[in-house]
Amino acid sequence: MMPKLFDTISVQPTTPHLGAEISGVDLGDLDDRQFNEIRQAFVDHGVIFFHGQELTPDQHIEFAKRWGQINVNRFFHPVDGYPQIAEVRKEPHQKASIGSSWHTDHSYDQIPAMGSILYAREVPTHGGDTMFASMYAAYEGLAEDMKTTLSTMNARHTNRIAFGRLDQLDQQAKDDLGNRLNNPHLAVQDAVHPVVIRHPLSGRPALFVNKGFTVSFDGLADDESAALLDQLEDHCHQEQYTYRFSWKVGSIAIWDNRATHHMAINDYDGQRRLMHRITIEGDPLTRA
């Protein structure tokens, strides 16, 4: 795949369906033309990647504000002095890795977040990659009768399970999490969204269900909902719809929650991994 040359940046697609690496730009010193080209690459590819960036927390915040309003995270431990930036951290002695199953962030909100800007501060010598999956390609790969069935359906999402039950973990699990996740009493968000959305920026249809936060489908019994969710989970994460990104110190990924799923791979026991994440508010979702 040949890189696409904008006026000021180079965009190299990572797969035919998903992702692009962008070079030739300093995210701490952008002009408007460069930002507009980056934003278009984000719309075109669903997730975009950068390497070799050196951002202070203030620069990270200022860059994020160009995308939209910042969503101050309810559950992650913040960076000291910067409540807008959430730490995604795993210490060498910890076993659990946050986000280690397929999901999309904030689908439980009435207006789900646009996406996140994740910045690698410390990375292990090996492992710690992140997988991404295209919900555009997953939708396009469905059989026509399944597309028709899903086109009128709604799904229910909640954060009451993932975050609301933190205080119910056994002591070993609590000790392992440390203070990385907090405030289970704030996990009271529920939302109903179309199963197939029309993306607010691209206008393309995309699947909008994820096993991390989707709990049921309107009109289906619990066992039917579970079976359909498992079926869609298996379909969405087939190899042809995914891309595995390897981090370096100074790497940045910006992903679209409405067009992708992601999963952090927990394969670096005994090493530290520290990421800074800023989440950006999104737009109301509509049915495709």
Catalytic residue numbers, as ranges: 103, 105, 262, 277
**Can you tell me whether residue 50 is helix, strand or coil?**
strand
Q: What DSSP string describes 211-270?
A: TTTEEEETTS-HHHHHHHHHHHHHHHT-GGGEEEE---TT-EEEEETTTEEEEE----TT
Secondary element (H or E) of residue 39: helix 32-45
Which residues are registered as beta bridge partners of 119?
252, 276
Name which of 163, 260, 122, 247 is nearest 204 in CA terms: 260
Contacts of 268 (CB under 8 A, 6+ apart): 90, 124, 126, 127, 128
Other Cβ atoms less than 10 A from the Cβ of 184: the count is 19
DSSP state of 32: H
